Amino acid sequence: MSKKCILLIFLVLLLQAFMVLPARSVSEPPSAIVLGRYNYFSDNYWIIYNKTVQQLRNEGYGASGDADLLVCANYTRLGYTAKSKIVRLSWPNLTLQFTEGAHDMNVTTYLVMEDGSIGEKLETFLRMNVPSYVHPYPLEVKDPDLGVGFGPEALVIGNTFAATLLNFTVNRTEILAGTPWGQNNTYVSLGYFANATHSYDWTTWSDSESGLFLKLVVISRTPTFTSYEELNLVETGVEVDRFDVVKSSQSYQIHIDTNSSLSGFVFDSETNKINLTVEGASGTPGILNVTVPKGLVPAGYGFEVLIDDQATSYTLTEDTNNYYVAVSYHHSTHTITISFVAVALWNQWWFWPTIGAAIVVVMILAYFFLKRRTKKTPNSK
């Protein structure tokens, strides 16, 4: 090989060495952070407001006394639970759906003195069976953030990181006795935010292996209320086949049955669309069965199914309460959209039977009319 060739190869290699950019590390989601992952907490919660007697009456509580009397109202939820579930996962972005469990509400009022101090206890009210509530607007979060947990890589004592609102510092480790997930080293992180009028103080206990939240204590102070909340994890799991959705303040549950990996689910109540992301080994057959409650589908609407924005055939069955939409495809990564679409009048199930019944009625009426007319006509001789 000539000296010129050797020199040329050396220059090319040297140039490549200078042009190589440092690799950007893309963190993988913790194994516990998957679509359908939920944390189910028991929740001790109270919140204190200064309100007038009239404001309490407006809320349905039978407060006595002068309508303008200022009282300190302590709201305490009894038997309260909270559930946080991942309904969309595009790491590091998460979409969470929150559900409040059915509970009782205790409200105790105290007299507010002229100097602002709290005086004697006045009245107690108990509201039973406050229903479960699915929050209609999912929460978008980004890691490390307040989802179902922090990424375990963030859990290093002394590490500081910013979430959406708070700045967190990993403070110490503890063992949470009596919890099935707290026997590893549990990292305690402190989060704080304050401005001229508001302050939020969070303490979180996170499992060192998964990053899942095992316990949270949240203290909030604003000009109108002070609140305390303590959540303790009682159950965690994965529900990739069931998704809670809300439409017109009503909650419904959509069931998904598929042999694909489901990596995204979104229901848009404004556009009446279900968007799913499925994937699997290339070339293998994929099937998807979606159970849609009939109450979720507007009257006079049917279905349209798109795979990667292309209309596709599907099978539709139904029973008293649900529609069942089934579609098949060949695996890769696909976006499947199930839309509720208005059905043309003549394609609705009742249209042709109604037309047929109307024709029969007209024929019967015409028959009797002609028969009656024939009877009235004199016989010609």
Give the β-pairing of 261-268 and 273-279: antiparallel
Tell me the HSE value of 282 on the side-chain side, using a 13 A CA sphere.
Answer: 0
Q: Do residues 169 and 144 make contact, with C-beta atoms less than 8 angstroms apart?
A: no
How far are the Cα atoms of 39, 157, 170 from residue 152, in angstroms, in the given order? 16, 12, 11
Q: Where are the alpha helices (DSSP H) in the chain?
A: 3-19, 53-58, 351-376
Q: Do residues 298 and 272 make contact, with C-beta atoms less than 8 angstroms apart?
A: yes
The amino acid that residue 267 corresponds to is F
**CA 320 remoteness from chain centre:** 26
Closest C-alpha to 262, from 246, 274, 249, 273: 274
Closest C-alpha to 336, from 263, 266, 276, 258: 276
Rounded to the nearest 5°, which phi and psi values hold at 98?
-110, 135
DSSP 8-state symbol, 102 = P
DSSP 332-369: SEEEEEEEEEEPPGGGSTTHHHHHHHHHHHHHHHHHHH
DSSP 8-state symbol, 216 = E
| pLDDT of res. 22 | 35
Map tokens 């089934």 to a residue.
326
| pLDDT of res. 118 | 93
| pLDDT of res. 151 | 86
Question: Encoding tokens for residue 252?
Answer: 């419904």
Measured distance CA(149)–CA(329) in Å, rounded: 35
Measured distance CA(241)–CA(69) in Å, rounded: 51
Domains of the chain: 37-238 (no CATH), 242-346 (2.60.220)
Rounded to the nearest 5°, which phi and psi values hold at 55?
-65, -40
Measured distance CA(218)–CA(242) in Å, rounded: 29
| pLDDT of res. 136 | 84
For residue 9, count CB atoms less than 10 angstroms from its CB and return exposed for 0-12, middle for 13-18, buried for 19 or more. exposed
The amino acid that residue 104 corresponds to is D
Question: Encoding tokens for residue 256?
Answer: 């998904």
The amino acid that residue 190 corresponds to is L
* HEC profile of 149-210: ECCHHHCCCCCEEECCCCEEEEEEEECCCCCCCCCCCEEEEEEEEECCCCEEEEEEEEECCC
| pLDDT of res. 366 | 72
Q: What is the dihedral of CA 171, 174, 178, 181, to 10 degrees?
A: 70
The amino acid that residue 72 corresponds to is C
Q: What is the pLDDT along the chain (381 residues), one digit of tens a residue?
A: 544 443 333 333 333 333 333 333 446 778 788 899 999 999 999 999 999 999 999 999 999 999 999 999 999 999 999 999 998 888 888 889 999 999 999 999 999 998 989 999 999 999 999 999 988 888 888 877 888 998 888 899 999 988 877 899 999 999 888 777 777 789 999 999 999 999 999 999 999 988 899 999 999 999 999 999 999 999 999 998 999 998 888 889 999 999 998 988 999 988 999 999 998 889 899 999 999 999 999 988 999 999 999 999 999 999 999 999 999 999 999 999 999 998 754 444 455 577 777 777 778 777 777 777 666 655 554
